[in-house]
Chain A
Amino acid sequence: MPGELPRHVTRTREGRPATFLEAIAEALWEEMERDSRVFLMGEDIGAYGGAFKVTRGFLEHFGQSRVIDTPIAEGGFTGAAAGAAHMGLRPVVEMQFMDFISPAYDVLTNYIATSLYRGAGPLPMVVRGPVGGGNRGGPFHSQNVEMAFFHTPGLRIVYPSTAADAKGLLKSAIRDDNPVIFEEHKGLYRAPHCREMLPADDHVVPLGKARVAMEGEDLTIVTYGLMVHHALEAAAELGRDGVRVEVIDLRTLLPLDEDAIVASVQKTGKLLIVHEDTRTGGIAGEIAIRINERAFEWLDGPILRVTAIDSPVPFSGELEDYFLPSVADVVTAGRYLVDY
């Protein structure tokens, strides 16, 4: 292989902590080295290294047959990725921003998600990219797309909150035989508090298993992605009042680790669901009904949710701050539930 390795894929092997973005890059790199069937497709991911430079240096190392710059045609290249997956390859498609996945909605939901069902075999492929607000990107560079796909049987949806999980879950997603939508919150990419030492071995985190990010007995907060960090901040503040909060990081939204949520609610009796996605049709509704089905008898208060408001993502900072759920919102809702 020619040249020096890009620095952002060697943090762990150098024994240094990695950012969330570097963890993603390490996962891609390691999987491409491990398995020649893995290849990348996306807009500007080759010569330019990607909009966020996740794949900087990949083209030089792996060559243009495995790092493919595509036209601006998300539907077309996602469909082509499906064809390659049919033939045994393992494509990883990058959406420059996940907002741009909507042109591929048709092929993802009608073709890719139904492949196994139709008898056309599994389609091992990953569609990954940056999501989320807080970057003043406005309505078309800030969305959370999970619920556009959550309703589609046959897909998996992953949304990590830490660098270690990002790496481990992405490696699992690439090895999984099902199509996986992998969301990466931009606010975590280079966040200093997300920089951490990653496991040096072949770090794989199984899909479909939630993580207890903080143990507690008074209140369960179920959340994922950037909101895990909001929830942990809120839990710390509530903790100063003696409230012991349990924070469940879902990690994988589809399949949903229902058992982990039920177990926590059975312990705390109170449930608050926090997501950055907008309110109506958000995952909080689905979690609430599942708890209603399985753990209603354990509830000692209403199930509440803290979410973005039902609006496109605003461009102005003041508007976006109002739109997004804040730590203060989580604390307020938490206090209400604890006092209920």
Chain B
Amino acid sequence: MHGDASPLSREVVRDLLYQGFQARLLAGGAGMPGDTPVSVDIRTVVMARAMRHSSDGKGDLCCPGHLSPGPMLAFGATPLEFLRQLGRKGTAPAAARSGGRSWTDQRRGLIGWDGPPGTMTQVLAGAALAFAQRGQDRAALVFEEFVATETGGWHEGMNFAAAQSAPLIVVLDMTQPADRAGTGAVDAIARGYGVSAAAVAEEPYPRLFRTVASARRRAVRGRGPTLIAMLPRGEGDPWALHDAFVARALDEAGVSDVEVRAIERAASAGVDHALNRLAREPEAEPHDALVPACAHEVPQPPWTRRVPPEPGWRATGDPRELHDAR
């Protein structure tokens, strides 16, 4: 553990282990439904877990960005819910009307990622503004790819958040091409808006956790947004960090090897159960899925008439009958 690090609580470490194991299985396991690529970065689990999660609609708000199970799990989604979205099931929160990233559960503080890059920074800026207006101890976290900073929309959202000192944390995923621009680009953007900036790399979990937790504290104290550059992983095993954390948990957080294995088994059982359950769940039924979401009644045949032209008129499928009836 780093010298400047205060150890995470044992409870947090156990949660992180559980969610990390599940995220790993969901992202890399066989038999995943759908053809949507699942992006996962174990660091996102840690960052999301550093926010204040609640299931009563009073906690922080998180927009996971890519189709990543990590932040969703950290904000209380279950593997089954995640897989329902991925599998476009009628039981999915959006009833298969929209893609996996659209998963929203405001009670748990999850909001779906929709629109082109930058849109969700705008939306989360407004949500954060609402927290500040009400004096609530809440903050918003949004994951965006660095490419979002190339859009005007992202800058409009960032500018608005900065001007309003909104409690917003924006994690910019520095994909490899973006990383060539360097974290200096993020620093320059942050300076331009007068907001704080930080960078996280393949650092130990506690440091990632503290970086976001610290940004959150600043945010809810009215000190405005923070931009966090999430640097690319190395070329090696993307889960090396996870494995390192398991080792640290064993070594420093007082979690025994027996407990770690029990947590891993529980996580695995949860994912297995979700996969089995998912296979038995129905596909979306068009009428049930679409009609409640339509603003208007769905037109019925014949053609789009909804009112017969005269009392007693019955459609036969022959348009000429209309004239006869008249």
Contact = CB atoms under 8 A, between A and B. Distances in A.
A154 interface: yes
Contacts of A77: 156, 160
A194 to B, nearest CB: 30
B316 interface: no
A87 B130 contact: yes
Contacts of B303: 293
Contact of B102 (A120, A294, A298): A120
Interface in B74-121: 92-95, 97-98, 102-104, 106, 111-112, 114-116, 119
Interface string A75-97: 11111111111111101000000
A153 to B, nearest CB: 6
A238 B161 CA distance: 57
B95 A119 contact: yes
B128 A79 contact: no
B152 interface: yes
A89 to B, nearest CB: 5
Nearest to A290: B304
Contacts of A120: 94, 102, 104, 106, 111-112, 114
A147 interface: no
Given A86-B126, A110-B114, A111-B123, 7 more contacts: A68-B164, A76-B122, A80-B123, A86-B130, A87-B130, A91-B126, A119-B93
30 contacts: A71-B160, A73-B160, A75-B122, A76-B153, A76-B155, A76-B156, A80-B122, A80-B157, A80-B160, A82-B126, A83-B123, A84-B129, A89-B130, A89-B133, A107-B119, A110-B115, A117-B94, A118-B102, A118-B114, A119-B97, A119-B102, A120-B111, A120-B112, A153-B296, A178-B295, A254-B295, A255-B295, A293-B305, A297-B322, A298-B309
Closest 8 CB pairs of A and B: A76-B156, A83-B126, A79-B122, A80-B126, A119-B94, A83-B127, A87-B130, A73-B156
Interface of B: 61, 92-95, 97-98, 102-104, 106, 111-112, 114-116, 119, 122-131, 133, 140, 152-153, 155-157, 159-161, 163-164, 293-296, 303-307, 309, 322-323, 326
Interface of A: 39, 65-66, 68, 70-71, 73, 75-89, 91, 106-107, 110-111, 114, 116-121, 153-154, 156, 178, 254-255, 262, 293-298
